[in-house]
Structure 1
């Protein structure tokens, strides 16, 4: 591809290294990293890799990134590899380290933006493998707004223990079973050893697979990107194709702003609802939309959820893994069904340079004999499972994941904890009992700081057999692996004086998913009296990344973004 391949109104960002003798130092620097004379006249493509050995989700992404570089170069471009960070939610879960998880989304977005804008790349291929990688990459691509393709690193295959599929959530729940005396230390160790057999992201419809599916529905990744296994050759082929695709986007002048539209975000929400995806999708889609300048709010999740049923029987609430879904065709046939039902818009542009409808025209339907994706006439749940609740306990909103299995309402007495660690200890030692509403506060974006995921407490509740008998509410958030009667993202958070801050042990709490309400059963005058005497806690950290995040971050109801 020559510089003439750029549209007339599109000046190559990288042209500064071609034009003028004053750019000779730039050319000298680039020669040292492998540029030839001809490379200076090619579009330069930044290939943002989240490779690291921190987590199995990302341990293979270096191979994929190099394959994308080959795809760029066979299309007459010049690929330039660079890295950004990744953290592991699974490893940090339940520890102070988890406070850095959501912060890492912002760091990833900032770092990709900094490198691409500084180096003047003409396009970007970005790779993500774990939960925060994906929205972080998309936020950067939206800010930069130059031709871009996102590639998901792919899902892990499930492990096997005693003839049953197991994954990371199985280990967390086994901890609760061990505390209850239902399994031995040896059995716990065997489950732990079997759960993660290799590379790839957690295998259920947890946050990684949820966000990969949402991004595919949005049109920012190639068809079926979300449904290819990490360890399979098809993922390498996709990476190569992404390198070629970004060059085509440059030729056509298609940018993320042409793809990341309000309608494409609504398409993403519809797919998340149909799949029974993670509550983190709410947080991340709001953040991505705000970064892209697209109007999206909590009410959009309610509106879409009223129309789109849950049809996928996937973990954590269901029986199957992403590997099972991939085996019957992946997410694409589901999108074709949704389009046929008028539940997604097929006219949205995608990174193929074609509309979503054009991408789906030759997609084969699911096999007849499968029960992973149900027909719309026989859904698992008639309305979406992501329910936005409001009331005197969450005037700014809260997000519940209601599959239907845990019931549609809950009333109980509050048992209050000011951190995840306090709550987990009392769940495991039996203090938390039937009829309790576990309140975990000061875990919000500012108060945590960092809005930790509460997978350890929710898994302990399930492991102790209390999933039907206990609810949990928090200004923190949940892992995609969490299930049970759980409500997170309570806004305003306790740290800034939200009503959650003044809840006391024994206070009645009423949660009604039908009415979409969450209420503290305390007289209004008493709530006012408690709030008037409330004093803001001191910041937990005063320096470093967490302190900066706490000062800059917005509320969860707006995506918890820092700008």
Structure 2
């Protein structure tokens, strides 16, 4: 155990009186104080089961000789708390989480914390808090929701999202929207499939911040509860060992996480979330450069939306631990983890179903699943999700731009037939400074392009961000600098010739550099009004290429 628990550095009689009133004894006062960070919420099914998980964790902490204190934080869910202001609160809410944790856990000088992590923004929010506070921390994976069937045909949230847009454009899918709505989500937990939540759960395991074999996992399964019990015991040991997040989340760990995302063809959102976590830890790490270093990682599994494999099959095939084992020397096996052992030691006995999680010599595709582009249209960076080659998504494209300053205008143009084969659809004003950021506008436009039958014959470029469910055609997102910061995407005009070449990692607008620089950048006004917290976020947020974090003082 460290020389002295930091919670014991405060001997105030008032503090002891408050805790005594909660039932703590004099003996309890001397034990490690563990924050159980719970994002439980009745607003969204993603978090609806976490109170039960918290009870299991707290019992395990007590049994291991610690004292648990349950604290609550904000619980952002894209589909529920994305309702107002075009979803503008979604990404900003990620940055509320570490601040909320700091204001409770750090302010109280607790000795360690265990975070119940669930929907898309909670894993990065918890990792960011862990790096900032640098006290012993473990994440417990909350698991994915059960999905249903219609006439023997599995359906999940991806089918529902696609069905919503298809219905709007007169392109109904295999089943009615009402039937999909009734069957797509059948219990608590995060979206099924390798969208952002399950990607980030696998990232947590690759970073070494959860117990081995934790991700992905069925919500409310015995496996999930067993992990919660073991995590409750382990966090007390971590406090006694003084094992801290900055010892675990080293540059090697971030490289391992990038390799994981490439291998599962995960969500592009993992890049900025990892960058934000590195920033919070004071690491001089460029995750966009790391991503390119990991461009040699092959795609070893094809979980929806990348292929036909369902997340349940991926879990049963060995999950994240098996994937790490299959990656072999493409990861650093000497990276330390929350167990006190290395990741190589943790995965030594992991077994994979090699039809679901392929060996490196027999990959699904050579990769990369995700690439970073730069050029005159994206001087800092842009992200392209390539996924698994299917003959429909080209890696090179050139054509005239058709530009939109709002998702509503883009949807109207697609519906009205203004977007034609050969167009490069440019949607700007959607970034962290100028628009809804993580809102569903850009994702909806992309699904609309697909519903209109244009995905293979157009390209789509946006300075906004996309749902992890999005994999339609040649799509470039998170163009940085964004339009609201004077980026070139705001200077593109209808008819400008745009050239995308993924093999050379280029994205350019084919006009004279001086002419491009002389044009005013549009739009000049925020797409969405930003009062209150949104105003603070817009004012202080750093660019997407820096993780879209709030300004961090060293």
Structure 2 length as normaliser, TM-score?
0.94
What's the Cα RMSD here?
1.9
Q: Provide, for residues 483-528 of structure 1, a one-character-per-residue CA deviation record: whole Å limited to 9, x for no partner.
A: 1211111011100110011111222211111111111122323213
| 1:145 corresponds to 2:134 | yes
Instruction: For residue 148 of structure 1, report the CA deviation from its aligned partner.
Output: 0.8
| 1:7 corresponds to 2:40 | no
Instruction: For residue 348 of structure 1, report the CA deviation from its aligned partner.
Output: 1.0
Name 2:332's counterpart in structure 1.
Answer: 345
Name 1:299's counterpart in structure 2.
Answer: 289
| 1:520 corresponds to 2:487 | no
165, 189, 194: which one pairs with 1:205? 194
Give the Cα separation in 2 of the matches to 1:425 and 1:142.
44
389, 397, 417: which one pairs with 1:410? 397
Q: Structure 1, unaligned stretches of length 5 or more? A: 1-5
Instruction: For residue 540 of structure 1, report the CA deviation from its aligned partner.
Output: 4.8
Cα 1:430–1:71 shift into 2, 3 Å: farther
| 1:550 corresponds to 2:538 | yes
Cα 1:434–1:300 shift into 2, 3 Å: same
93, 99, 110: which one pairs with 1:110? 99
Q: Provide, for residues 107-142 of structure 1, a one-character-per-residue CA deviation record: whole Å limited to 9, x for no partner.
A: 011001111111111000011110001100110111
| 1:474 corresponds to 2:462 | yes
158, 164, 184: which one pairs with 1:195? 184
Secondary structure of 2:88 counterpart: helix
Name 2:110's counterpart in structure 1.
Answer: 121
Instruction: For residue 158 of structure 1, report the CA deviation from its aligned partner.
Output: 2.8
Secondary structure of 2:68 counterpart: strand
| 1:434 corresponds to 2:421 | yes
Alignment of 1:274-313 (within 5 A): 274-297=263-286, 298-305=288-295, 307-313=296-302
Structure 2 contact 369–386 (Cα < 8 Å) conserved: yes
| 1:362 corresponds to 2:355 | no
| 1:393 corresponds to 2:382 | no
Give the Cα separation in 1 of the matches to 2:527 and 2:294.
38
Q: Provide, for residues 20-39 of structure 1, a one-character-per-residue CA deviation record: whole Å limited to 9, x for no partner.
A: xxx21111111223323321
Structure 2 contact 60–233 (Cα < 8 Å) conserved: yes
Structure 1 contact 155–203 (Cα < 8 Å) conserved: yes
Give the Cα separation in 1 of the matches to 2:504 and 2:83.
32
| 1:223 corresponds to 2:212 | yes
Name 1:326's counterpart in structure 2.
Answer: 315
Q: Provide, for residues 421-480 of structure 1, a one-character-per-residue CA deviation record: whole Å limited to 9, x for no partner.
A: 322333344432322222111111111154435322222222333221222111111111
Structure 2 contact 86–436 (Cα < 8 Å) conserved: no
Instruction: For residue 186 of structure 1, report the CA deviation from its aligned partner.
Output: 7.7
Structure 1 contact 511–518 (Cα < 8 Å) conserved: yes
Instruction: For residue 94 of structure 1, report the CA deviation from its aligned partner.
Output: 7.8
Structure 1 contact 443–476 (Cα < 8 Å) conserved: yes
Q: How many residues align?
A: 545
Instruction: For residue 96 of structure 1, report the CA deviation from its aligned partner.
Output: 2.1
Structure 1 length as normaliser, TM-score?
0.93
Instruction: For residue 401 of structure 1, report the CA deviation from its aligned partner.
Output: 0.3
Is the deviation greater in 126-135 or in 171-180? 171-180
Give the Cα separation in 2 of the matches to 1:182 and 1:304.
38
Is the deviation greater in 415-424 or in 288-297? 415-424
Give the Cα separation in 2 of the matches to 1:171 and 1:94.
17
Structure 1 contact 311–381 (Cα < 8 Å) conserved: yes
Cα 1:34–1:465 shift into 2, 3 Å: farther
Q: Provide, for residues 367-394 of structure 1, a one-character-per-residue CA deviation record: whole Å limited to 9, x for no partner.
A: 35x3x22232232321221110001000
| Structure 1 outlier segments of 4+, above 6 Å | none
Cα 1:391–1:63 shift into 2, 3 Å: same
Name 2:446's counterpart in structure 1.
Answer: 458
Secondary structure of 1:137 counterpart: helix
